[in-house]
């Protein structure tokens, strides 16, 4: 079984939020405080794993903000480095002009360029010689970093004061804004690399990321000193010198956080017909992940502190008004790639039944990914068909692409699968057949989908929005408690 390495996604989410927070310094209409160059060391589990760098400068009649993030972590004995950068350009009056992002997760960087003209966002995503274009309506209330500075200059650092804005974080989503609400908690002290500073503590929340809470310590001039997010056991950024930020980092081992041991074992997960589980947090905080009743999963009960799910081989129908996002080719799911189209046609042959088609594609993807490893952070389907290697996420995106090439709407799901006494974070594929989402796991060579999969989030992996789609699990990653409530097996005499 190829266990998931979705913790990388949680790190990237945090990095994007840190980059947004890193520009909260009061500005001036004449930009006397520019250029600015800020470095922040990033810590996880007490280890310095990387940095966030934010530079803001004036260039003629524009403001350019560069944000760079680099972090290293280890999973199942393999070290991985995640790198991403974004450059935002806006007029002196704060009107956004455009941006460029680069994310390095697979073998080749994925570059997205956005141009904003006449209320329209024009996106072009490039990987190698492959390009995907998209046109979207632009929200005029969205603030780029310099405009955010200007808006915050009247934000008083007094207890109870609040500031709300729609911000743009292209590292997280290049097609959708992120609303942020900042509330002043009050005066506090904070340790900055061994030196105690007087500061003001501010709480930041994001409605689209329920449960994700940041605490930011600012000095009297709104300079960010420290940021903490309760994710993955705690992630912390600390303002520092360039030399300290760029010093050699130490990989943090996330293998333990990837696995969750339930209160009872499941002896034969492959024979499960029905499983009822109760999800909550280890620390007793509210369970904030919103879960839909669709496909093989149904919400039985929800309270502030927990959610009870029924996962079954039976299906819950889901009516979808617009299937286009699940049919279109994208950078990550490039179903128009001739190699993917050819592989899909070869696997399916003359089969016309949608479900048997999906099963033929599942078996083909398992065989196509010849080298099962954890060397890549996030590869596209085109990269996978070329290299023939990867883990569960590579299986999932390739299967989704091949399904679309055969006319089956598809998306990826992220959650957990039961393997040898533990639920392990995992990614698989869903196809839309006869009015319902059906789960298909290409990492399972000899059997169909089983009820030992817990789905936390889904995404069509469209242009520029996949990280935000999959961010739902971030608030409970490393803090998840799973209780087995009921189990039913295909053969009763095999029940444990």
**Which tens digit of pLDDT belongs to each residue from 366-382?**
999 988 776 666 788 99
Asked if 216 contacts 204 with a C-beta cutoff of 8 angstroms, the reply is: yes
- Assess whether pLDDT exceeds 90 at residue 238: yes
Q: Dump the DSSP string for 444-464.
A: -SSS---S-EEEEEEE---TT
pLDDT at 472: 67
CA angle 184/187/191 to nearest 5° reads 110
What's residue 41's pLDDT?
A: 95
pLDDT in tens, 411-425: 999 999 998 899 998
- Please report the beta strands in 292-370, taking only residues with DSSP state E, as ranges in sequence order: 295-302, 306-316
Q: Which pLDDT score, from 0 to 100, does residue 120 have? A: 93
Could you report the per-residue pLDDT of 393-403, keeping only the tens digit for each? 899 999 999 99
Query: Residue 479: what pLDDT?
Result: 86
Question: Residue 19: pLDDT above 80?
Answer: no
What is the pLDDT, as a whole number, of residue 27? 40
- Would the pLDDT of 350 be above 90? yes
For residues 239 and 37, give the distance between their C-alpha atoms in angstroms, rounded to a whole number: 11
| pLDDT recorded at residue 333 | 92
CA distance 365 to 363: 6
244-300: pLDDT as tens digits: 999 988 877 777 778 899 999 998 888 889 999 999 999 888 898 889 899 999 999
Percent of the chain with pLDDT over 70: 86
Task: Give the sign of the dihedral formed by CA 373, CA 376, CA 378, CA 379.
Answer: negative
Under the banding of pLDDT at 50, 70 and 90, the label for residue 200 is very high
Q: Is residue 32 predicted with pLDDT exceeding 80? A: no
Instruction: Give, in order, the Cα–Cα distances in Å from 297 to each of 294, 326, 397, 412.
Output: 6, 19, 21, 15
- Specify the pLDDT at position 9: 35
Q: How far apart, in whole angstroms, are the C-alpha atoms of residue 305 and residue 281?
A: 7
CA–CA gap between residue 118 and residue 263 (Å, rounded): 56
Q: Which residues make Cβ contacts (< 8 Å) with residue 87, sequence separation at least 6?
A: 64, 65, 66, 67, 99, 100, 101
Q: Which domains, from first to last, does the chain contain?
A: 7-253 (no CATH), 261-494 (3.10.620.30)
Q: Which residues contact 446 (CB under 8 A, 6 or more apart)?
A: none
493 pLDDT higher than 70: no
Q: Categorize the per-residue pLDDT at 206 as very low, low, confident or very high, splitting at 50, 70 and 90.
A: confident
pTM listed for this prediction: 0.81
């Amino acid at each position: 079984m190829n266990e998931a390495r979705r913790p990388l996604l949680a790190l990237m989410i945090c990095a994007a939020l840190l980059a947004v927070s890193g520009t909260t310094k009061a500005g001036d209409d004449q930009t006397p405080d520019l250029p600015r160059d800020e470095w922040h060391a990033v810590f996880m589990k007490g280890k310095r794993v990387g940095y966030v760098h934010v530079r803001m400068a004036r260039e003629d009649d524009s403001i350019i903000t560069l944000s760079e993030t680099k972090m290293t972590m280890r999973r199942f004995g393999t070290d991985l480095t995640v790198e991403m950068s974004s450059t935002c350009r806006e007029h002196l009056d704060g009107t956004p002009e455009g941006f460029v992002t680069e994310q390095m997760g697979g073998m080749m960087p994925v570059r997205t360029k956005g141009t904003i003209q006449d209320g329209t966002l024009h996106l072009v995503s490039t990987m190698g010689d492959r390009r995907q274009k998209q046109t979207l309506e632009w929200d005029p209330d969205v603030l780029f970093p310099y405009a955010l500075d200007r808006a915050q200059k009247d934000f008083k650092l007094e207890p109870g004061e609040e500031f709300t804005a729609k911000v743009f974080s292209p590292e997280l989503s290049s097609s959708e804004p992120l609303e942020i609400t900042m509330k002043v908690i009050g005066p506090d002290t904070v340790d900055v690399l061994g030196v105690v500073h007087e500061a003001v503590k501010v709480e930041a929340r994001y409605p689209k990321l329920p449960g994700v809470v940041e605490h930011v310590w600012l000095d009297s001039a709104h300079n960010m000193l420290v940021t903490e997010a309760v994710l993955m056991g705690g992630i912390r950024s600390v303002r520092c010198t360039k030399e300290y930020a760029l010093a050699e980092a130490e990989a943090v081992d996330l293998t333990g956080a990837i696995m969750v041991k339930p209160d009872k074992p499941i002896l034969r997960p492959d024979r499960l017909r029905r499983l009822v589980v109760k999800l909550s947090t280890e620390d007793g905080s509210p369970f904030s992940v919103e879960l839909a009743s669709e496909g093989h999963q149904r919400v039985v009960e929800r309270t502030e502190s927990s959610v009870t799910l029924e996962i079954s081989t039976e299906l819950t129908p889901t009516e979808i008004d617009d299937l286009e996002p699940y049919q279109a080719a994208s950078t990550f799911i490039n179903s128009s790639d001739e190699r993917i189209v050819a592989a899909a046609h070869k696997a399916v042959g003359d089969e016309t039944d949608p479900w048997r088609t999906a099963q033929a594609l599942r078996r083909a993807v398992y065989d196509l990914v010849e080298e099962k490893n954890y060397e890549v952070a996030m590869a596209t389907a085109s990269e996978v068909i070329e290299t023939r290697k990867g883990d569960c996420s590579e299986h999932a995106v390739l299967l989704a692409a091949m399904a679309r090439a055969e006319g089956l709407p598809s998306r990826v799901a992220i959650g957990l699968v039961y393997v040898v006494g533990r639920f392990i974070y995992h990614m698989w594929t869903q196809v839309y057949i006869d009015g319902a989402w059906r789960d298909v796991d290409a990492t399972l060579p000899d059997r169909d989908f089983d009820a030992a999969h817990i789905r936390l989030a889904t995404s069509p992996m469209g242009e520029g929005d996949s990280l935000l789609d999959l961010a739902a699990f971030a608030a409970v990653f490393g803090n998840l408690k799973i209780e087995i409530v009921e189990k039913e097996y295909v053969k009763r005499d095999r029940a444990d």
